[in-house]
Amino acid sequence: MTIEGRCLCGKVRYEVRGDLTRAGSCHCSMCRRSHGAAFGTYASVPDGGFHWLAGEDDVTVYKSSPAGGRAFCRRCGSTLGAVENGELRWITLGTVDGDPGIRPQANIFVASKAPWHEITDDLPQFDEYPPSE
């Protein structure tokens, strides 16, 4: 399937061709700050499946770790995805238009979750990354 997403102001738009394969909510302090929320929910994009449709000039990548970064719209601040080694590998599910066809499969970095947030779903919880990574 093909899905589309956009930032809050609408200047930046993207599409993903092919099915999203994995999705999860990250409770680490960087994701919380980046989203201004209890957690960030991401889905992995298939190889070569991610494309900016509009507004790529307004996309800024904040380097939050040596190999990773967060792509956001410099006009409205929406966090659009996570970048690994210069490539956008994860989109934020909150910026998707309509149903992305995938549901979150796990809560990760639960050891650093916000003290004011209680996880109430039944998904597996991992203190950091799942063991398979």
Interface with Zn ion (CB under 5 A): 7, 9, 11, 26, 28, 31, 73, 75-76
Least distance from Zn ion to the Cβ atom of residue 120, Å: 19
Least gap, CB of 117 to Zn ion (angstroms)? 14
CB of 73 to Zn ion, least distance (A): 3
Taking Cα atoms as reference points, which of 88, 32, 18, 34 lies closest to residue 56? 88
Between 1 and 127, name the residue whose CB sits nearer to Zn ion. 127
CB nearer Zn ion, residue 1 or residue 25? 25
- Closer Cβ to Zn ion, 76 or 123, answer by number: 76
With residue 88 as reference, give the H or E element that holds it: strand 87-92
CA 96, distance to chain mean position in Å, is 10
What's the burial of 105, exposed, middle or buried (CB within 10 Å: 0-12/13-18/19+)?
middle
Strands 59-63 and 87-92, how do they pair? unpaired
Comparison of 9 and 18: residue with beta carbon closer to Zn ion:
9
DSSP helix/strand/coil, 62: strand
Residue spans of alpha helices (H) in the chain: 29-35
CB of residue 39 to Zn ion, shortest distance in Å = 8
